[in-house]
Structure 1
Amino acid sequence: MSDFEGLVAIVTGGAQGIGLATAKLLKSRGASVAVLDLKPDGLPDGIMGIEADVSDDAQVKAAVDAVVERFGRLDVVVNNAGIPAVGDVAANGDDEWLHVLNVNVVGMVRVSRHALPHLRKSPAAAIVNTCSIVAWAGHQMRALYSTSKGAVYSLTLAMAADHAREGIRVNCVAPGTTDTPWVEKQLNGTADPAAARASMESFLAPGRLVTADEVAGAIAYLASPLSSASVGTMLAVDGGQHGLRLRPKDQQHLIGR
């Protein structure tokens, strides 16, 4: 496909995981791509890397300006940078709450704020935010992280309403448990990583974790000019994790009520 031919895209948090998969996919479909990351190392040839911290407004502005100076325009923003948090509502101190919200929510605000003047000039402007199914599905030990992603969902809807008539489409993806370096680190920190992975996989209908490439495909769908009627959409890529309740295989014949 070449639906992004001639377009310029920024992907934040694009040096690994979902962000890297997205940057590579957009480039393969014709986009000029710039990755903003704390450590934009080891990127594939042809992808511009910029060291930038989304919690620093001056760095974000300088990075967006550098992309426009390099390519002459900006059409697509993928707000993917984010950090995890584990614990119930009492587990994380005020400093951690403020830090996670600053990166996961206000970081998207900063990037979008500085991108807007350029997106208004684009004939195919799109912003895609990386949300999560925990924005509307309660998961244990995710109070802070869930709060940040719930805010991302609300932010997406508000931005979509604000900017749709300017020709800027805003949507978000909601991944389920995705096979990323962060999840791998979590699994490796357990007593039995293989058993922990099997437990995670048992909650998903396909019997495996979501892949970064699958989430990237959803991001590309929402960002593509071919999806011009998709506005204010949350697209779940979760292996049925939110909507389905699967019984163990030996109990599939049972009927509950």
Structure 2
Amino acid sequence: MKATLGRFLRWYYRPWIRGTEHVPPSGAAILASNHLAVIDSFFLPALLKRPVVFLGKDAYFTGRGIRGRIVATFMRGVGTIPVDRSGGSGVEAALRTGLARLAAGELFGIYPEGTRSPDGRLYRGKTGIARLALESGAPVIPVAMVDSHIAQPIGKRVPSRHRVGVVIGAPLDFSRYQAMASDRFVLRTVTDEIMYAIMGLSGQEYVDAYAASEKSRMASRSGEPTPTAPGGPGGRPAPGGPGSRVAEA
């Protein structure tokens, strides 16, 4: 299924990818990606030689009708693992799933924002990514999906034929913090460093708020996104300047 889907995606959408040399040929690693559209979970696994799975909300696997069956088939085909994200038990189940994959020496993908960006900006990362990195000891490889939200805006069921890009950055090593996986300040520091690396690859504007909270705010008010001040995760200067936007080489 993955091979067939991969061939179709490459033929129809002509996606591009840079930085594959940063993905190790063997051994455990965490791929930490921004999340712009549902199809992010299709393109990255399809473009990498090594198998990689992402967690997906269980609703993707329980849809009704033809569309529901197609989405479920695609998700299973690229190796997405269903998880109940409705409560704390769901978070722990996701963490255990990731740790099991990494203990087996495999690649595990995660979206630190926890949900799709509501407006194409990069939102605050949740510290589950830091726990996963520190408890597993695996390196974190930052990934930027580019323009997938243009191909598939929120609410659009079938993505348009717009080129999607993937940029993979150099691995991040957090072994210096490995004994501090229960320290919330360390978890936030590690998470912010990961988000900063993703922002540097994607060129997105950073918002120091959780994406889920912003979705709720936009739904209850005018729909206008929260204005932000320049800056990056952890109060760092944002990578900027002319030409900082990611573009195809």
TM-score norm. by structure 1 comes to 0.37
Structure scoring higher RCO (CA < 8 A, sep ≥ 6) equals 2
Structure having the higher Rg: 1
